[in-house]
Amino acid sequence: MSTDNNDETRNPSRRRFLQSSAMAGAGLIAGAGAASAAAPDPLITEVQDWASVFGDPVDATPYGMPIHFEEHVVRRNVEWLTESTASSINFTPIHALEGTITPQGVAFERHHSGAIELSKPDYRLMINGLVDRPLVFTFEDLLRFPRAMTTAFCECAANGGMEWGGAQLEGVQFTQGMIHNMEYTGVMLRDLLSESGVKPEGKWIYVEGHDASSNGRSIPLEKAMDDVMVAFFANGEALRKEHGYPVRLVVPGWEGNMWIKWLRRIGVYDQAVESREETSKYTDLMPDGRARKWTWVMDAKSVITSPSPQAPIRHGKGPLVITGLAWSGNGKIDRVDVSLDGGRNWQEARITGDARPKALTRFHLDIDWDGSELFLQSRAIDDTGYVQPTKQALREIRGLNNVYHNNGIQTWWVKADGEVENVEIA
Amino acid sequence: MSKSRNSAFAALLAAGLVAGPALAEPLGIGREALPEEIAAWDVAVLPDGTGLREGSGDVETGDELFAEHCASCHGDFAEGLDSWPSLAGGAGSLNDPRPVKTIGSYWPYLSTVYDYVHRSMPFGNAQVLSVDDTYAITAFLLYSNGLVEDDFVLTHENFTDIAMPNAEGFYPDDRPETEYVQFSTEPCMTDCIPGAPEITKRAAELKVTPTEEDGTPAGTLPVISAAADAG
């Protein structure tokens, strides 16, 4: 195990002394212009333990975990949301992450009957239904198909759903954290389907998992033959158990519920199965009492991840980095605008790194904060020309009984002391 | 590989639906699925009755099975306990401020009830209900919703005769027509809204967010500024 705590236990009195003298020195003063130090910083002028003695040896952590200073960067759940944590959701700590790739260990989980343990030797995948040849593949079989890679966001259709009626949860982890973005390696579903041979009357596939919920979903054949992947690596390593080890479906741009984990069977049909997950759930109740179904695509959306309620501004006025994420299930992010005054005026943010279709895109805006209150908002524009709407614009169309597909603009109220609240404004 | 497979794939290719390099010929990977294996795993039941197995079950038997397997979460009358789903009631509530979406009020197809009960329920002990058990529980759920009488027997033969009340209540995604057009105009950049922002809702006032011991939202980043790091 790690020996990360040793510097505390080895010489606690020395460490306490160093910390208090650092404070007394007031080495860093918030504010505009370069600060000046009243006294030399002992962290610089004195030889520190870590600059003198050994750190951890190479055999200390065969599989490395984040250093304990980062132990707050974890998935979190909201107990009152569900009756059972076996059929529940947790949230990615996006307020604490940067870049675009989500480490598997903090990527949100949604299970309908818990994360199951299924080994590669025990793994089977069946393709049957309207095919010329129903087939069974082992995990080893899948490794012999031509391999493909894709980077894609996976967003729960209910991401932001608790905010539909108004601001409810304090923190971007809870309001927009049912999302992750990984680089997948696997085989294209179309290659598996062509191995079985889809009959002309086959228009839909139905995909289901090995777990007790099976969580089946119908997908039109056009999508199945386009960009859907049967993945077994994520971010360069095997899928984690909670992400469907050893095999999951990747359905770029479409709601996370369709990304079947522990993929067991692909049935080919002439119609949608109309399973529980695509009728009772994941349908969108409209004001007239009817409901939209087959609302698969996740529309363009963005959110500022910092500052945010869990990431307040503590450094005072002056240079401030505003950072956030944008994505679209319909294509590539073209532009992200940020408003500091609750949507009165907007400026274009900088897209940092690549903007890939159906993948998380990072944006930044560097400002000189004058210390006055802000109403931060961001809005994404994708390459179809779609502009992320306000929550109110969505409510005017969909009413108040919608739950899924809330891609409305988020407002963060930054107060003069740097604390941040989740608010709605008029 | 048969001709029909190749022609189907060629049609997709012609329609431009295949984005990347496609395999011209099967690679011969995998093995044929046996009929017993397909029967074990392909349990899907579709709205037109595809996949139904021969069998039957009556309301009274369903009531007993429901009490044994389901009532601890869904209540004796399928009304739902705590936040577990209500399976009965809610008729006519779908455009109320608090709609009650149940099998009777919301679910469009009876096949969905059978399919889900058979494959995914009871929660935590799935796939223990026989075909006849599932017909019986499905019959009981119809009865709980006032859709059949207490002497009703559901079978594979009368299954597709049952029309659910909300069968016509769904329509395919129309966002491209009803939303995308409206949301695809060039956005305003300056002086878009008159007046100063006025706060209408504060999440902080609801106090439903998990918190740290100090009352800040769970996961709040720790203080890292050097001057304040004397803890």
- My answer on whether B25 and B58 are in the same domain is no
Same domain, B10 and B91: no
Per-residue pLDDT tens for A186-203?
999 999 999 999 999 999
Question: What are B215-226's pLDDT values in tens digits?
Answer: 999 999 999 987
Section A154-177 average pLDDT: 96
Helix (H, G, I), strand (E, B) or coil at B152: coil
Using CA atoms in the order B46, B50, B53, B54, what is the torsion angle rounded to 10 degrees? 120
> Looking at per-residue confidence, does A7 or A381 come out higher?
A381
- Specify whether B114 is located in the same domain as B60: yes
Q: Is the domain of B123 the same as that of B139? A: yes
Domain count, chain B: 2
Number of domains chain A is built from: 2
- pLDDT at position B18 over 60: no
A339 and A282 share one domain: no
Using a 10 angstrom Cβ sphere, with 0-12 exposed, 13-18 middle and 19 or more buried, the burial of residue B22 is middle
Position A37 confidence tier, pLDDT thresholds 50, 70, 90: confident
B94 and B105 in contact (C-beta within 8 Å)? yes
Instruction: Look at residues B161, B189, B224 and tell me which one is the last residue of a structural domain.
Output: B161
For an interface test with B, give the residue of A19, A192, A276 to mutate (most B CBs within 10 A).
A276
* pLDDT surpasses 50 at A27: no
Residue A207 lies in a domain: yes
Same domain assignment for residues B55 and B144: yes
Q: Are strands A291-293 and B170-172 parallel, antiparallel or unpaired?
A: parallel
| Rounded CA separation A331/B165 (Å) | 38
Determine contact: B37 vs chain A, CB below 8 A.
Answer: yes
Interval A56-93: pLDDT, tens: 999 999 999 999 999 999 999 999 999 899 899 999 99
Q: With 50 as the cut, is the pLDDT of residue B16 above it?
A: no
Does one domain contain both B52 and B157? yes
Do residues A315 and A370 both lie within one domain? yes
Q: Is residue A270 part of a domain?
A: yes
Q: Please tell me what DSSP assigns to residue B226.
A: G
Distance from CA of B152 to the nearest CA of A (A): 24
Do A212 and A287 belong to one domain?
Answer: yes
pLDDT band at residue B25 under the 50/70/90 scheme: confident
CA distance B189 to chain A (A): 5
Sheet holding A291-293, edge to edge: A284-285, A291-293, B170-172
B90 with B71, same domain? yes
| ipTM of the complex model | 0.89
Rounded to whole angstroms, the Cα distance separating A252 from A219 reads 12
Whether residue A195 and residue B30 make contact (CB cut-off 8 A), yes or no, is: yes
With CB atoms and an 8 Å threshold, state whether B180 touches A386: yes
B5 vs A197, A296, A389: nearest CB: A197
Residue A280 inside a domain? The answer is yes
Nearest neighbour of B200 by CB, restricted to A23, A287, A425 = A425
**Which CATH number characterizes residue A309's domain?**
2.60.40.650
Domain edge (last residue) among A242, A271, A292: A292
Domain shared by A373 and A401, yes or no: yes
The span from the first CA to the last CA of chain B, in angstroms, equals 71
Radius of gyration of chain B (CA): 27
| Within-domain flag for B76 | yes
Same domain, A97 and A220: yes
Task: Enumerate the β-bridge partners of residue A248.
Answer: A231, A261
Average pLDDT over residues A247-274: 98
User: Are A269 and A328 part of one and the same domain?
Assistant: no
**CB-CB under 8 Å, B18 with A292:** no
List CB contacts (< 8 A) between B44 and chain A.
206, 208, 216, 267, 273, 275
CB contact under 8 A, B9 and A83: no
Distance CA A194, CA B19 (A): 14
Examine the pLDDT at B1 and tell me if it is beyond 80: no
A·B CB contacts under 8 A: 348
Residues B92 and B150 in one domain: yes
Q: Which residues of A touch B94 (CB under 8 A)?
A: 285, 289-291, 401
Quote the minimal CA–CA distance from A423 to chain B in Å: 5
Residue A13 has pLDDT above 50, yes or no: no
Is there a single domain that holds both residue A253 and residue A310? no
∠ CA A252-A256-A260, rounded to 5°: 90
Q: Is residue B214 part of a domain?
A: no
pLDDT tens readout for residues B45-76: 999 999 999 999 999 999 999 999 999 999 99
Question: Partners of A181 in the beta sheet?
Answer: A153
Residue with tokens 């029967």: B39
Global pTM?
A: 0.90
Q: Which domain holds residue B8?
A: 3-39
Domain boundary among B106, B137, B161: B161
Q: Does B13 touch chain A (CB under 8 A)?
A: no
Which residues of chain A does B128 touch, with a Cβ-Cβ cutoff of 8 Å?
A: none
Does one domain contain both B47 and B15? no
Domain-embedded: residue B229? no
Residue finishing a domain among A269, A292, A315: A292
Nearest to A402 by CA among A235, A283, A279: A283
Mean residue pLDDT across chain B: 90
Helices B3-14 & A189-196 angle (0-180, nearest 10)? 150
Can you give the residue range of the structural domain that contains A191? 79-292
Do B30 and B81 belong to one domain?
A: no
User: Pick from A19, A145, A289: which is nearest to B94 by CB?
Assistant: A289
* Cβ within 8 Å, pair B183-A311: no
Give me the mean pLDDT over the B94-108 stretch: 95
